[in-house]
Structure 1
Amino acid sequence: MPSGKMVKFILYEVLQFAALIVPIFVIMERFALLIHRLKKLDLTVYWLVVAVSIAYVTSVTLLVWAPLKYVILKQRRFITEVTQWRPTALAYLILSTLPCFAVLIASSKVQVDMGCKLDHFVELPVSLVLFSLICVDIIERIRPCNLTGKSDSLNPDFDMPGPVLTHLEQVTTVSAQLHPNESQNSLTQGRPETRNGRTSRRWEDFAGSPSSRAYLYSSSSRSWSYSGPFSFLWWKDERSEVVLDSFLFWLDTAEMLRITGETSIFYSGWVFPVYILCFLSTLRIIITPQNPLLSFAGFFLQDLPFFIIRVALIAVFGNVTPVFYPLKNVLVSLTFIYFTFLTKLRIFNRRRMF
């Protein structure tokens, strides 16, 4: 009977491979059907396009995907040294997402040239491409964790739920740093008063208490606990939060892809920059989740270009997207510029004394 690690490995690999090939087959089938309806010929053209998709998937699987997985499984040196980016995500973008977006753009161009508007790929194909991308991201992030039992909070891909002790150091008291005479005088002046011939032990308790040690915690949020009848509402697991974070991470890109479903945009020249910017925003999946470069990439690959293209689309086509999204883009861009660059200037670096 296979072990749990083997079952998890097979499950992850099957899901990733399905996310690689399913969007290609679905979009190519829709494209083949579109060509068949435009040309009004027999099914030869339809099956020819389907055969091309099968040949493409077979080629990239044998020549790129399988060798890459083998190298990662064997943990070759040039793969194990990769810590700031994810090779599997890069291969998925090049082999699946890029061809799918190219076919979608070609579908728009073919229909415009033929003077027909039959299919603008509004729902299933576009949603399936992004959903598969999110699944690959989730699998890559949750792969080091167990599927059963408690999660491993020490995994670097997860945000630790509470303060974690990272350094323990004995702090030298003030009295130890003073000269003996000065220390004795200071302690005499600082001791609590004697009541009924008995000195309060609060000073000694404080000197020997754990608060005399310095605990340097990480910058994570405080861990909350509750032991009442509704304690199950306080349960927290990082593995489930990875799924939520992944979908929220791609929410802006999903809205931008939804805009391409508008007929006026899909059959115009604006479909080219929209899909190109959407693909550039997906390049963020290559960077590891805890990499500081992720915020820089989010600004230059998503928020800034998305704000420009959204303002242009609203000016040309009207309210094709909610105003909430360009406001989000401009707010994130301004805060990134301010806290990253402007706060280093002398005029913004003055400390206020309270």
Structure 2
Amino acid sequence: MVSGKSIKLLVYEILEFAAFSIPTLMVTEQFASAFQGTKNSTEKTCYWLIVSISIAYVALVTLIVWIPVKILLYKKHRLCSRIKKWRPPLMMCIVFTTLPCFGFSIAVTEVQKNASNTSALPDTLPDLPVSVVLASLIIVDIIEKLRKYPLRERPPKNEDSYIHTKHLQQVKTVTEQVKSSEENNVAPQPAKRSPFGSGILKAMSQQDKRAEIFLSSFIMWSDTTEMLRVSGHSAVFKSGWLYPVYIFSYISLLRIIVTPQQSFMSSLGVFLQDFPFMFVRISLIANLGTITPILGLLKNILVTLSYFYFNYLTSFRVFTTNERTSF
């Protein structure tokens, strides 16, 4: 009888392979349709040729890269134990799926712009291909994070440090502490039970790492999603601004290769996303108007400034004071 662990592994691998192959086929089909639309002929020879090449590409990469790497990861446990700072499945998706998808997305607009009837360009580009590409990366990211957790039962306490129910301790004032020191013969009073320890508030205070994985994975790429949404604006894809938007959006995705527990993940978020996005958004607003939200620019500026200030500037003597927090 097939065990639950084998079923979970099979489902994970099917989902990861679907996320690896479907975006390329979908974006390539969009390019084939755009290229066929520039032809006056009713024959679809070019359309099916491009689609066939995309299928052959996915099959070739699967046989040469995806399957051998997966076999090595499951057969060579010693090799898998050494890979602790980066994730091979995410790297394969970034290199062999996301990169060609972004390239074909740019090629779609270039083919339509170079056609004889340039007025046929739409006002906005369809959002589905970009959403599928990002969703595929998020799915693989979630699966790689969920592998060490069970799905049908609660994980052990030592693996899920986020599941806890704490009672708030009663904080004593200075006067109470002095009085308690003078009256050593008085037995200490037990801490009052917090309202969060029972009832509906106790149920709402429970936190599971597995549920937080889904939330954090989607929030992590909200800024990149918004930047790629801007690329669908007619003022962007009809001009040369389409290239920097896609290039820096792709660069921001590279940090997904690194394992989440690495201490330099916050630095990668600043240097690969917030810092370059800040200049891209400033340039877009200066040249094309507020086609990108001001809130996104504000987020990039505040995150970048706070990172450099608290990590580097506060170490200088001029910023060192005797400031203490008080309540």
Preserved CA contact (<8 Å) 1:307 1:329: yes
Per-residue deviation, 1:74: 1.5
**Structure 2 CA distance for aligned equivalents of residues 285 and 87 of structure 1:** 11
Per-residue deviation, 1:346: 1.7
Partner residue in 1 for 2:240: 269
Per-residue deviation, 1:225: 4.8
Preserved CA contact (<8 Å) 2:27 2:104: yes
**Structure 1 CA distance for aligned equivalents of residues 101 and 25 of structure 2:** 9
Computing the radius of gyration over CA atoms, which structure comes out larger, 1 or 2? 1
Per-residue deviation, 1:10: 0.4
Partner residue in 2 for 1:85: 86
Alignment of 1:202-217 (within 5 A): 202=187
- Structure 2 unmatched ranges of 5 or more: 167-179
Looking at secondary structure, tell me which structure has more strand per residue.
1
Change beyond 3 A, Cα 1:229–1:83: closer
Please report the RMSD computed on the Cα atoms of aligned residues, expressed in angstroms.
2.5
Preserved CA contact (<8 Å) 1:154 1:160: no
The alignment status of 1:122 with 2:145, answered yes or no, reads no
Task: Normalising by structure 1, report the TM-score.
Answer: 0.80
**Structure 2 CA distance for aligned equivalents of residues 320 and 92 of structure 1:** 30
**Structure 1 CA distance for aligned equivalents of residues 200 and 301 of structure 2:** 44
Tell me which amino acid in the other structure corresponds to 2:242. V
Alignment of 1:176-215 (within 5 A): 200=185, 202=187
Task: Normalising by structure 2, report the TM-score.
Answer: 0.86
**Structure 1 CA distance for aligned equivalents of residues 219 and 161 of structure 2:** 16
The alignment status of 1:141 with 2:141, answered yes or no, reads no
Per-residue deviation, 1:38: 0.5
Per-residue deviation, 1:236: 2.2
Partner residue in 1 for 2:155: 151
Preserved CA contact (<8 Å) 1:145 1:152: no
Over the matched positions of the two proteins, sequence identity in percent amounts to 41
Tell me which stretches of 4 or more aligned residues in structure 1 moved more than 6 Å. Answer: none
- Structure 1 unmatched ranges of 5 or more: 165-189, 194-198, 210-222
**Structure 2 CA distance for aligned equivalents of residues 135 and 159 of structure 1:** 24
> What CA deviation, in whole Å up to 9, does each residue of 1:89-148 have, x standing for no partner?
111100100010010111122222224344664211011111111111111111110011
Secondary structure (helix, strand or coil) at the match of 1:114 reads coil
Change beyond 3 A, Cα 1:225–1:113: same
**Structure 2 CA distance for aligned equivalents of residues 275 and 314 of structure 1:** 17
Secondary structure (helix, strand or coil) at the match of 2:149 reads coil
**Structure 1 CA distance for aligned equivalents of residues 316 and 163 of structure 2:** 34
**Structure 1 CA distance for aligned equivalents of residues 22 and 161 of structure 2:** 32
Per-residue deviation, 1:47: 0.4
Partner residue in 1 for 2:19: 19
Secondary structure (helix, strand or coil) at the match of 1:290 reads coil
**Structure 1 CA distance for aligned equivalents of residues 290 and 231 of structure 2:** 13
Per-residue deviation, 1:80: 1.7
Partner residue in 1 for 2:298: 327
Partner residue in 2 for 1:216: none
**Structure 1 CA distance for aligned equivalents of residues 224 and 276 of structure 2:** 12
Change beyond 3 A, Cα 1:253–1:154: farther
Number of residue pairs aligned between Structure 1 and Structure 2? 305
**Structure 1 CA distance for aligned equivalents of residues 200 and 215 of structure 2:** 26
The alignment status of 1:95 with 2:102, answered yes or no, reads no
Change beyond 3 A, Cα 1:314–1:31: same
Partner residue in 1 for 2:279: 308
